[in-house]
Structure 1
Amino acid sequence: MKYTWFSFFLSLVAIRFYGMATDNQSPQIYFFVAAVTVIVFLLTYISELKINPKWMVPIGITLIAQMIGISHIISVSDWGTVLSADTSIPFTFVNPDNYQGLAAEYATVGWMSRSLNYSLLLGIVYKICGVSSLIGEMLSVLFYYSSLELFVKTVRYYDIKIINSEEFKISFLILLFYPQLISESIQIHRELLIIYLLSFSLFFFVKWWKTSKYVYIFLSMIPVVLAGILHGGSIFLAVGIALSIILYSSSRLEAKITVKTFSYLILLLFIGIFVMSRVDFDKFNNLDVTTLALERGNSTGIGGSGYTAGISIGNPILSAIVNTPIKMFYFLFSPLPHNWRGIMDVISFLMSSLLYLIPFFVVLKDKIMNRLDDNLAWSIFLSLGIFSIPFAWGVSNSGTAIRHRSKIIIWLVFLILLLLKNRKSNLKGKSK
């Protein structure tokens, strides 16, 4: 991974300084250096992944698509302003939270008019490298490929034989050509860093699963906490991981509640309450006991999932019990056919919603029919379900839901890989 980062930043520095030397009037050099970047990066990346060189073609296609996307963003603005501290570029086109503008503000004047953790991080990078939206965009691309590399390392650690299997090919192609992920990877946004951190979490979680060494649980939790600093809802993945540790193990197929596990569950509850009280949840801040987060979650105007058309129940606790599964369903699988507004919603459903709907359906079906022999898959399913709870109550439209659920894409695709492997094992068992 270190050589991949080095080759990418070397190209970035070349683009940056050539643009300055030519008075920022030569966008053509971007395409030349980008082409060199593609070649150098591909050779470095494939060697570090240690996979079949044939993967250079699909990886190259994705990288070229990302370069074209970045060049399009540059073409709708002025090349000179892309390489300068001017924040007048219409970053709302790719950057709804204006991370670029705030980062440039921090790098140039030392403070931000609005506090965003990712902008602070990006601002520190800009202080070192100079203010350039190109740096922010390329950094997102780098987080994307580093996440893919962590996925490959996770698969290799789980079972090295899978690397050359059809199951791996399918799952890796999903990550390479998933439209939402490619789109986000060229934006100046926190999403790719969160995906990268949660990829680390999965890597260490699988290491714990294989070795039963609890140091890996600690290492798995750290990236989730860091992701929670960037977006409070991400911290809920830690709750799912903790439940998996308490209820399951690699040697036990069914959850078993004992005095010990029950004590751990109570401890987890208190730790969860303590952590949640100190994490910034934005829309759900400053709520007293009588208001409750779920009441705000039912409000379309203040940040709650209005598109779920929640069932109105007077008792807030009962309302949470009834509405939470419904809201989780909408968050994970929206846009659903009954609320399609046009062809783009149909495409979003086919490209995004089905990617979540099919594996979740298969997990539940196989579990009910006792065909799910791998409880690692069930543990990941449980973790992803719990992760969806705060987002289910906090988003108000399917577009935002699609963006937020992409945070768990590496976990989801690893789940798909396990399900494909499980299905293959079941078919072999039947043929004997």
Structure 2
Amino acid sequence: MIGILILFLIQCVAIGVCSVFGWTDIHPDLVTIQMIGFTSILLIYIFAKKTNNKLMFGLLTMGYAARVGIMFIDIYGSSLFTILHSGDDTERFYIRSVEYYEGNYSHFTTYYPYIIKDIYEIFGKNRLIAQYVNILCWVGVVFVVLAACKLFHVKEKCVIFIMAYLALLPNYICISSILLRESIMIFLDTWGFYLCLKWMKKKLFISLIMAFVVTFPAIILHSASIGLWIGFALIYAFWDVGTQRFAFQAKTIFVLLLGIAAIILLNFSSYRNLIMAYLPTNLSIESITSKEFAAGDSDYLMNIQVNNGVELIFWTIIRMFFFVFSPLPGSTTSLKYIFAFIVDSVPTAVIIFLTIKDAYYNKKGKYVFAAYAVCLIVIGIFAWGVSNAGTAMRHRSLIVGVFAIAYCMANEKKLIPVKIVDETKAAEE
């Protein structure tokens, strides 16, 4: 371990020297590749230490290697092969970040290009390092989910299964390897939900406060993540840490009223565009359902007419289903989306089914309910904001870490208390 730390310190010093002498601007890719090499050695060592199983170690190493490979293909081989989700948005983020870095553009679009620009300030104008940060965010999700497995004493075979899900899910591999903000948001959302769980299970109120804090940057990047805040508030309102169950309490009404007041005040404050930019200013049937979409090759449920509250509830449920499982068979004839159904929609359905089944069998429904309540709020926000399978695949990945933790909670071991036997009495008997 000391050798790894020394290696890491040498790397930091080398990057610092390169930055001082301006070499990060002259040879940015060269500096970054050596940094990725050092970091990879460190991460593989940590994978080996964090896992007691060779299969789990192999899965994490494969997941990491696949992401690094996809990253290099996306940057250096895009003319030969286009990575899923890479295209207009990734190029727009890159161009805007360069303009911010060079001081040639001042108009605000989203915060993600500013994050990339800040990375350039350290490592030079280097797209490679910006995308590698997204891979490190996947590593962060893995460590958070492993921590959740430890918190809930999850069986080893279930830990291996969920690591395979996080490491090899093709949609997640692509999203965490290219220049998109989703990978950062997935990490923050997963970490925030884990902290909320620590409060539920360990009664650490500071963990609940930190859950709100760590998810704040995710909300700034995309306001739909405010669904996690709403979920955390509802969990706090109804969860009794003493009895470890959901119940209507004295604080419930106070928290609910306080939450409603906060949303109303925020909606009319100068900070609205910071936190609620993607949400309608006035909650009405028309404001929720009237978003216009550019036609594509994997659209679903376009031009739906909603005239009353009952129809709104009905179509919201249908749209939530499509958001979670699109592309669905029959909705598109494109081979790439049929493939996407097999490698993303099906695994999503499997993980949800297994979680609900195991939660019922192991009597862990209260924790899984908390996870799925948060997921359903986020999905509900996206339900009317997305009408394209490709976009749905991108945005539903925001809760892939919460799905993973929910599966872990459903498979918590039942710890058998150790009875202390009086050996003298036992011998007499």
Equivalent residue, structure 2, for 1:337: 329
Alpha-carbon distance change, 331 to 130 in structure 1, aligned in 2, over 3 angstroms: same
Structure 1 CA distance, aligned partners of 2:362 and 2:315? 30
- Paired residue for 1:148, among 136, 139, 142? 142
- Deviation per CA, 1:271-324: give whole Å up to 9, x if none: 233345514555545x55667421324x44599x97235753323x34422221
RMSD: 4.0
Is the 8 Å Cα contact of residues 209 and 250 (structure 1) preserved in structure 2? yes
Between the aligned residues of both structures, percent identity stands at 20
Q: Tell me by how many angstroms 1:204 deviates.
A: 1.0
- In structure 1, distance between residues paired with 2:135 and 2:7: 11
Structure 1 gap segments, 5+ residues each: 79-90, 426-432
CA distance in 2, matches of 1:201, 1:226: 11
1:100 aligns with 2:100: no
* AA at the equivalent of 1:138: Y
Aligned partners of 2:140 and 2:187 also within 8 Å: yes
Deviations 1:90-137 (A, max 9, x none): x96384362222222111117444422111122122123211111111
Distance 1:5 1:130, change over 3 A: farther
CA distance in 1: counterparts of 2:284 and 2:370, whole angstroms: 34
Whole-Å separation in 2 of the counterparts to 1:22 and 1:208: 45
Which residue number corresponds to residue 220 of structure 1? 211
Show the 5 A alignment for 1:13-52: 13=15, 37-47=39-49, 49=50, 51-52=52-53
- Aligned: 1:241 with 2:232: yes
Q: Which of the numbers 301, 309, 312 marks the counterpart of 2:305?
A: 312
Larger relative contact order, structure 1 or 2 (CA cutoff 8 Å, min sep 6) = 2
Which moved further from structure 2: 31-40 or 135-144? Answer: 31-40
How far did 1:71 drift? 2.4
Deviations 1:371-421 (A, max 9, x none): 743411111111111111111110120110110011111111111222344
For 2:160 and 2:6, the matched residues in 1 are separated by 22
- SS of equivalent residue, structure 2 residue 344: helix
Q: Which amino acid aligns with 2:220?
A: I
Report which stretch shifted further, 369-378 or 115-124.
Answer: 369-378
For 1:371 and 1:58, the matched residues in 2 are separated by 26
1:235 is displaced (CA, Å) by 0.7
Letter in 2 for 1:271: A
| Partner residue in 1 for 2:126 | 132
CA contact (8 A) 2:299 2:387 kept: yes
Among 171, 177, 189, which residue is 2:168 paired with? Answer: 177
The alpha carbon displacement at 1:31 in A equals 7.3
User: Structure 1, residues 11-43: CA drift from partner, whole Å, max 9, x if none?
Assistant: 9949x889959976998x987875555334312
Q: Secondary structure at the match of 1:389?
A: helix
Return the match for 2:319 from 314, 318, 327: 327
With structure 2 as the length reference, what TM-score do the two structures score?
A: 0.79
SS at match of 1:69: helix
- Counterpart of 1:268? 259
- Contact (CA 8 Å) 2:371, 2:402: kept in 1 or not? yes
Which of 360, 377, 382 pairs up with 2:368? Answer: 377
Equivalent-residue separation in structure 1 for 2:35 and 2:238 (angstroms): 52
**For residue 421 of structure 2, what is the aligned residue in structure 1?**
none
- Identify the match of residue 230 of structure 1 among 221, 226, 246: 221
What CA distance in whole angstroms lies between the structure 1 residues aligned with 2:276 and 2:25?
A: 45
**Contact 1:384-1:408 at 8 Å conserved across structures:** yes
In structure 2, how many angstroms separate the alpha carbons of the residues matched to 1:168 and 1:108? 46
- The verdict on how the C-alpha distance between 1:20 and 1:320 changes in structure 2, with shifts beyond 3 A counting, is same
Distance change (3 Å), C-alpha of 1:229 and 1:36: closer
- The yes-or-no answer on 1:68 pairing with 2:60 is no
How many aligned positions are there?
Answer: 401
Distance change in 2, residues 1:129/1:43 (3 Å)? same
Match of residue 296 from structure 1: 290
Give the partner amino acid of 1:322: F
- In 1, the alpha carbon distance for the partners of 2:176 and 2:219 equals 20
- Alignment-mate amino acid for residue 218 of structure 2: A
Q: Is the 8 A contact 2:316 2:380 kept in 1?
A: yes
Alpha-carbon spacing, 1:10–1:93, altered in 2? closer, same or farther (3 Å): farther
**Contact 1:12 1:135 (C-alpha < 8 Å) held by counterparts:** no
* Counterpart check, 1:410 vs 2:411: no
Q: Confirm or deny that 1:353 pairs with 2:355.
A: no
Amino acid in structure 2 at the alignment position of 1:42: I
* 1:241/1:288 CA distance change after superposition, 3 Å: closer
Contact 2:362 2:411 in 1 (8 A): no
Change in Cα spacing, 1:247 to 1:120, as seen in structure 2 (3 Å) is same
Equivalents in 2 of 1:105, 1:415: separation in Å? Answer: 41
Contact 1:241 1:383 in 2 (8 A): yes
Return closer, same or farther for 1:384/1:43 CA change in 2, 3 Å cut-off: same
Distance 2:102 2:122 in 1: 11
SS at match of 1:314: coil
TM-score between the two structures when normalised by the length of structure 1 = 0.78
Query: What residue is the counterpart of 1:117 in the other structure?
Result: 111
Residue 210, structure 1, aligned to residue 198, structure 2: no
Mean Cα displacement is larger for which, 224-233 or 30-39? 30-39
Cα distance in structure 2, aligned partners of 1:254 and 1:239: 19
- What runs of 5+ residues in structure 2 fail to find an aligned partner? 80-84, 416-429
